[in-house]
Structure 1
Amino acid sequence: MARKPAPRRDAALPGDVRLMNATAALLAVLGVLAMAAVMTLWAARQPVFLLHAIRIDGDVTRNSVATIRANAMPHLAGNFFSLDLRRAREAFEAVPWVRHAVVQRIWPNRLSVRLEEHRVAALWATDSGDDKLVNTFGEVFEANPGDVDDDTLPTLAGPEGSSARLLVLYARLQPVVAPLEQRIETLAMSGRGSLSAELDSGAEIEIGRGSDDEIVARLQRFVATLPQVVAQHQRPLVHADLRHNDGYAVRLKGVSTSGAGRN
């Protein structure tokens, strides 16, 4: 004769007993988790996890390690566990000449910081006269222009957000004027996008608006014919206006404005 399966033990328990057992198990788990959280908080507050050292690598040409630490440390709050890495990165990036910082924790109480400095490519003129600098990415940043020893840096000026385009245009236009044995000292863009340049001789050139290729081509045609005009009058260039459809107008020293060449 077949034996009947034995009934499950938990099935025999009343419903309220099963509920009490489940509640007790849940409370036990919560108690263990709470105890673990308390122990973790207690351990995290121990002096061993206070930040004791910061290792700084990367670009430190413009600032000494001591200067970087002195500028950033007052803005670092917390220990190894509680330190906000985003705010720490912002603190280091607020140091003059620092473009980018990568901050990492090193167990149990140190930070590793890798820095990238701005590499200056131009000066940036503002209406307020508080000049700034432009890095090789075309980004405007604040630093002391007096820290820059390169006297050949061009000055760029224009609306907000135009610095990257102006830097690219300068790199394309400077070789164009090189045959004149002159250098672009200032390249400026108006609010309407009209471009003008000042050479190191003091001559001013109104280039006008257009795409980058159109601007380069316009200046190339001007430079190709200007030596003939200058040789004819034996006077240096003072001002040129390339915004004419059928040519350009020039003013030479001691000579009134005249039309010249086809643009």
Structure 2
Amino acid sequence: MAAKRKLQARRRQKPARKPLSFWLRPVFVVLVVSSSVAGLALMLEWMKDPSAWPVQNVQIEGDLNHLDADVLQSFLEPMTKQGFFSVQVGEIQSQLQARPWVEQVSVRRVWPDLVQVHIREQQPVVRWGETGFLNPRGEYFSPQAHVEIAGLPWLAGPDGYEKRVLSMFAQMRKSLRPLQLEVVRLQLDARRAWHVTLNNGLKMELGRRDPLQRVARFIRAYPEIMAAGSGRVVSVDLRYSNGVAVRWQSMNKQAKSTG
């Protein structure tokens, strides 16, 4: 009976109160998180302040022959006034990449106040068409203003054939080098026929098929061609399967034309 009374007495006892620290712990966590978020927001706003973190210098690197570094500096200045942390690196890169003479560009921030721009300029190896150029990879680019670069060969062809024409030019130039002849003009026309002009003024018609084999035939026949006529060789037609048609300009006609 006594044991039963003890059990009932225990049941009537109130549960123990939890300490104050138990209730303060989540409040403390909420306060810490809130203050951290507010502090982070204030810090971000401070970092966006261009007066607190100004860009002091824009450094342009690269071997520039056709791009003006001062012009680029003026172009980039408005884009760097937002401050060091707010500079849109991707936007600057895309804006510069759109310029015709820029082949590749990289932009990065350098702590604490420098924006570094590295530019690889286009290298024209041949002229393409009326106003454009090709770089060593056969990629076309066209400056906004007409640019005259002395000594560049002239190439032309249908859209999309830039790399093929440039490759053909390189192979022909290598084949003709032993004769000390250079290709100064190479055209692939709409019918896919090849037309060549050499540095001595001689023109070659190669037709549509096997242009390199026909150039090789010209090289073999070149000594005989030069020895057979009595004037300057004007053109060579190599479209025949078993022969070569040669046109000379007579000495009399040449003298008359030059006075």
TM-score range, shorter chain: 0.7 to 0.9
1:132 matched to 2:132: yes
Q: Which runs of 5+ in 2 are unaligned?
A: 1-15, 18-24, 251-259
Partners of 1:123 and 1:236 in 2: CA distance: 27
Report the CA distance between 1:168 and its aligned residue. Answer: 2.4
Report the CA distance between 1:186 and its aligned residue. Answer: 0.8
Of the structure 1 ranges 189-198 and 92-101, higher mean CA displacement relative to structure 2 is found in 92-101
Change (3 A) 1:228 1:34: same
Report the CA distance between 1:94 and its aligned residue. Answer: 4.1
Please provide the CA RMSD for this pair.
3.4
- For the 8 Å contact 1:133–1:145, the answer to whether it is kept is no
User: 2:120 corresponds to which residue?
Assistant: 116
Identity of aligned residues (%): 27
User: 2:45 corresponds to which residue?
Assistant: 41
- For the 8 Å contact 1:48–1:109, the answer to whether it is kept is no
User: 2:181 corresponds to which residue?
Assistant: 182
Report the CA distance between 1:74 and its aligned residue. Answer: 4.4
Pick the aligned partner of 1:62 from 52, 58, 66: 66
* Amino acid corresponding to residue 228 of structure 1 in structure 2: E
Change (3 A) 1:133 1:104: same
Structure number with bigger Rg: 2
Pick the aligned partner of 1:246 from 218, 242, 257: 242
Pick the aligned partner of 2:214 from 194, 212, 218: 218
Deviation digits for residues 178-223 of structure 1, max 9, x if unmatched?
A: 455432211111234322111233332122335xxx4323201122
- For the 8 Å contact 1:187–1:198, the answer to whether it is kept is yes
TM-score if structure 2 supplies the norm length?
A: 0.72
Partners of 1:79 and 1:52 in 2: CA distance: 9
Report the CA distance between 1:88 and its aligned residue. Answer: 0.8
User: 2:201 corresponds to which residue?
Assistant: 202
Partners of 2:37 and 2:30 in 1: CA distance: 11
Deviation digits for residues 140-190 of structure 1, max 9, x if unmatched?
A: 223356453x3x210111122322332222222123334554322111112
Change (3 A) 1:47 1:215: same
Partners of 1:198 and 1:115 in 2: CA distance: 35
* Amino acid corresponding to residue 73 of structure 2 in structure 1: R
How many residues end up aligned between the 2 structures? 231
* Amino acid corresponding to residue 142 of structure 1 in structure 2: S
* Amino acid corresponding to residue 175 of structure 2 in structure 1: V
Partners of 1:189 and 1:147 in 2: CA distance: 23
Q: Which runs of 5+ in 1 are unaligned?
A: 1-11, 14-20, 255-263
